[in-house]
Structure 1
Amino acid sequence: MASPAKARRPEEEGASVLETLPPIPLAIVIAKAGPRAAAALARASSTLRAAASGESLWRRFCADDFALDAPISPSGDSSLPSFKDAYKAWFQSFGMYPLALVKRVKVFWSSFKTWLCEYFPEGLRTLGDGISEAEIAVAECSLGLQLPMPTKLLYRFCNGQLHFGRDDFSYGVMGGYKICDQRYIVRLLPLAHHKIQNSNCIVVARSPFGEKIFLLDCLSGRLYVGTQYWKNDRETMSCMPKSLIRLTMDDDHGMPQDGLLLWLEEHLRRLQTGLIKVQSCNFPMISKYINLYPVQLPYCSSASMHGIKVRASAVFAPENSALADYPCKLSYCFSIRLSLPEAFVVDGKWYSSFQLQSSHYTIQIGDEVSSHVCKYGDRGKFPLLRCGEELFVYGCAISEALVPGSVTGYLTLVPWRGNKPSGSPLVAKIAPFPLRPPDYIF
């Protein structure tokens, strides 16, 4: 007598249904089910194991969850046998975080390093490797603070910029500018045991020269920059709108994002769109740096006369600003950039260079208007610009109210021929450019 058939469990019946599907529909079902379901199905039968272990399937999972285009280890220093192995390694390393946030941070660092590799390799060479979850836990214990989740991930992929060279100077990947004889070039700091006393803040970036310092409040996730009164009174200003910060993940607002992540992403956006660019310079120990002066409309103005191009823009200078003063004092540094693509004609004569004698600025802040004149001969030299070169002229304007302003003016130039002045002075217009408190402060 035949024995009664055993009752099938629901999961066995489900497995049987899947096994009857043609290869393409089966692959679609498993792909939509996701990597965890695929790993479980691979243990159900040999048929499903073959369907759930395909390299193309795990390539897709790696791309979707970790933005991987090759089966590499989380440290990036070795290749793994397959995309399935890569997914397993990455999930073991980062599975304690929302995978969408892991992908976002990885995409940021990959994109930033790609940009640096092409335009600023000197800065790329200063970036450190990421640190482990255990090292972050040790740092948090030493600091007595818990880092926001996005900041932890940022350090997992890159532990700031390395220290090297004389005077602890490095190419600051956050860029900078010059104000009179001061230069501010900001670099990212490694996660060190550096906490501001009696606060929830740690220092995440600063300039090696000058007094520019950026601080992350680990409790609120907000990023701050020190003002003119930072050293004595610990005065700071927020680097971005508070409304953008969220430290928890929910259905209404999406993934967590803190001030440091948003700040870095905005900096990268400005680099990728060409709003700011790398500039050659004559600073000691450095040949070029990321210049924070905007070079695109509407933040930059442009005018041309006799083939001489004049571009002008301003950058907000928090380290020279003060909120405690009444009224509040906001400082801007502005830059005038002259270029001479080719020889120019004045009164029927050709010239291949000119000398800058003076600059005249009219600054309007609200209803207040002030004028300033700078004569370069008073400094013992007249800047000379030749064909194919670019000349930077710097100035600084101080606002005494939280209102936008603008700058306009003109430059007095003397044409040169050979090695001496030749011809009458001419005027090059500086088109109006804005002085505006920014949404993001760098």
Structure 2
Amino acid sequence: MASPPTEPAGAAGLESMEGLALDTIISKAGARPAAALACASTHLRAAVDDDALWRRFCAQDLGLDAPLDPDGHPLPSFKDAYKVWLESFGMYPLPLVKRVKLFWSSLKSWLSENFPESLGTLRKGASEAQIKSAEDDLGIKLPMPTKLLYRFCNGQLPFSTNYLENVRMAPLGIIGGYVFYDHSVNVHLSSLEQMVEETNEFYADLNEPGLSNGLNLVLVASSWYNAKSFLLNCSNGELYVGTANLPAGEMMPCVPKSLIKPTNSDMPQDGLLLWLEEHLRRLQNGMIKIRPLRTSRYICLYPEAPPMCTSATTNGVKVRASAVFAPEHHQGMGHALYSYSIRLSVPEACMLGGVYYPSCQLHSRHWIIRCGDRVVSDLHGEGVIGKYPLLLPGQEEFVYESCTPLSGSTGSVEGSFTFVPGRVSRPEGKPFEVMVAPFPLETPEYIF
């Protein structure tokens, strides 16, 4: 004779409980114990079937505030939603599932409000089978957080053979970039297909014989314009950015190593997830913003807020300045390149000696560039990038970008602009100096 099924521990004591007390205990027990209790008796099954209970489980474990499946389709109940999500993502730690889901939903929300043209380039999440196929093609196992990132979104739409379409797509990278002179960078998150293709090309192009032996690197992001590539080490989860010597294998870490934990920890995380989360924080807090680019727009990586962006106002002329490190030009110790962005405006009025002027025009510049405490360059010149911007009160900022090499890891730029009240060709008063507050040149902990 078969023995009766064993009751879950504590089920007998719960039989006599009702209402809020029973609901509280089941809620604190969690979803899996709750499912087990439902098998113990009709009384407990009725308590566990309460959808308000599963609403809490969905919010607590998955960050769901509506009964939706992983593709956003509505389901009859929160209990059904929890079941579907567990079937789809049960092989991953649920705290990590919730974290990655929150990242993608927050990024998509920001893009929807600020950069919808880029939102349209994000692809539907990949299946476990697609990820397994990519791993087989690479001969490399992807870290758990990276696989989960791709389960929710399979990167951005890949570039095609259509040149005009690529030109339209190029500024829409979710990582963004910078432009100075004829150098343009805009980084897209690679799809699995692009990851496989570009990783294989990377190994084929390595100039150092034998360097590829033992490397578990995959290309996870790159720029369609001037080359810039980000590579994830699938053995230890570290993320790197390629330098000018990438064909010889030279890379730089772009996420603090101390933050990366082993994949067998309670909350596994790798460099790619940390990098993307930091990027999202910078978008959300206004450190980086959307700026125009020719006939399009892009995520501009020049910092827009202190301490990386400095601001000074002289006689009503406001100067904001910041710089980005350009790792794709880095050529070993002592050969760093920084690009800087200068924004000039007259927010209210140009006032000099108590006299109001309807306009003022830049005539010349003076730059002092330091490496550490040592002055390495003291430059005087007319105009900026061959222009003499005329500033009017209330107009948008005049923005220009340039670059400077630095023979060290840290430095700064400061200086001044000489402005003429009125116009250079028809001055209405004496020239005056407009200060540029010192802004830093340094290799950041996070490189984008």
The normalised TM-score by structure 2 is: 0.89
Identity of aligned residues (%): 52
Aligned alpha-carbon RMSD (Å): 2.2
Worse-matched range after superposition: 261-270 or 193-202:
193-202
Q: Using the alignment, how far apart are the partners of 2:385 and 2:275 within structure 1? A: 41
Q: Using the alignment, how far apart are the partners of 1:233 and 1:262 within structure 2? A: 27
Name structure 2 gaps, 5 residues minimum.
160-164, 204-211
The corresponding residue for 1:401 is 408
2:34 to 8, 19, 38: 38
1:121-176, Cα deviation, whole Å (9 max, x unpaired): 22212111111111101111111111000000000111111146234525111121
* Residue 207 of structure 2 corresponds to residue 173 of structure 1: no
Q: What letter is aligned with 1:113?
A: K
Q: Using the alignment, how far apart are the partners of 2:262 and 2:109 within structure 1? A: 28
Q: Using the alignment, how far apart are the partners of 2:142 and 2:325 within structure 1? A: 28
Q: Using the alignment, how far apart are the partners of 2:286 and 2:250 within structure 1? A: 32
Does the CA contact (< 8 Å) of 2:361 and 2:424 recur in 1?
no
User: Against the structure 1 CA distance between its residues 226 and 14, is the aligned structure 2 distance closer, same or farther, given a 3 Å change threshold?
Assistant: closer
The corresponding residue for 1:365 is 371
Q: 1:14, CA displacement in angstroms?
A: 4.3
Does the CA contact (< 8 Å) of 1:176 and 1:291 recur in 2?
yes
The corresponding residue for 2:235 is 219
* Residue 326 of structure 2 corresponds to residue 317 of structure 1: yes
User: Against the structure 1 CA distance between its residues 280 and 51, is the aligned structure 2 distance closer, same or farther, given a 3 Å change threshold?
Assistant: same
Does the CA contact (< 8 Å) of 1:148 and 1:247 recur in 2?
no
Q: Using the alignment, how far apart are the partners of 2:103 and 2:243 within structure 1? A: 28
Q: Using the alignment, how far apart are the partners of 2:358 and 2:243 within structure 1? A: 44
Worse-matched range after superposition: 22-31 or 167-176:
167-176
* Residue 310 of structure 2 corresponds to residue 298 of structure 1: no
1:383 to 359, 382, 389: 389
Does the CA contact (< 8 Å) of 1:408 and 1:432 recur in 2?
yes
SS in 2 for 1:262: helix
The corresponding residue for 1:63 is 59
SS in 1 for 2:286: coil
* Residue 30 of structure 2 corresponds to residue 15 of structure 1: no
Q: 1:73, CA displacement in angstroms?
A: 0.7
SS in 1 for 2:103: helix
1:52 to 45, 48, 51: 48
1:283-328, Cα deviation, whole Å (9 max, x unpaired): xx52x211111122221211111222111111111111122xxx43
For residues 78-227 of structure 1, what are the structure 2 equivalents within 5 Å? 78-163=73-158, 165-167=165-167, 169-192=170-193, 193-194=196-197, 195=199, 196-197=202-203, 198=212, 199-227=215-243
Q: 1:100, CA displacement in angstroms?
A: 0.8
Q: 1:396, CA displacement in angstroms?
A: 1.5
The normalised TM-score by structure 1 is: 0.90
Name structure 1 gaps, 5 residues minimum.
1-6
Does the CA contact (< 8 Å) of 1:177 and 1:183 recur in 2?
yes
For residues 324-363 of structure 1, what are the structure 2 equivalents within 5 Å? 327-363=333-369
Worse-matched range after superposition: 54-63 or 189-198:
189-198
The corresponding residue for 2:206 is none
Q: 1:409, CA displacement in angstroms?
A: 0.2
SS in 2 for 1:186: strand
The corresponding residue for 1:3 is none
The corresponding residue for 2:207 is none
Q: Using the alignment, how far apart are the partners of 1:79 and 1:32 within structure 2? A: 26
SS in 1 for 2:172: coil
Q: Using the alignment, how far apart are the partners of 1:418 and 1:54 within structure 2? A: 77
Q: Using the alignment, how far apart are the partners of 1:296 and 1:367 within structure 2? A: 24
Q: Using the alignment, how far apart are the partners of 1:437 and 1:14 within structure 2? A: 57
2:286 to 270, 274, 290: 274
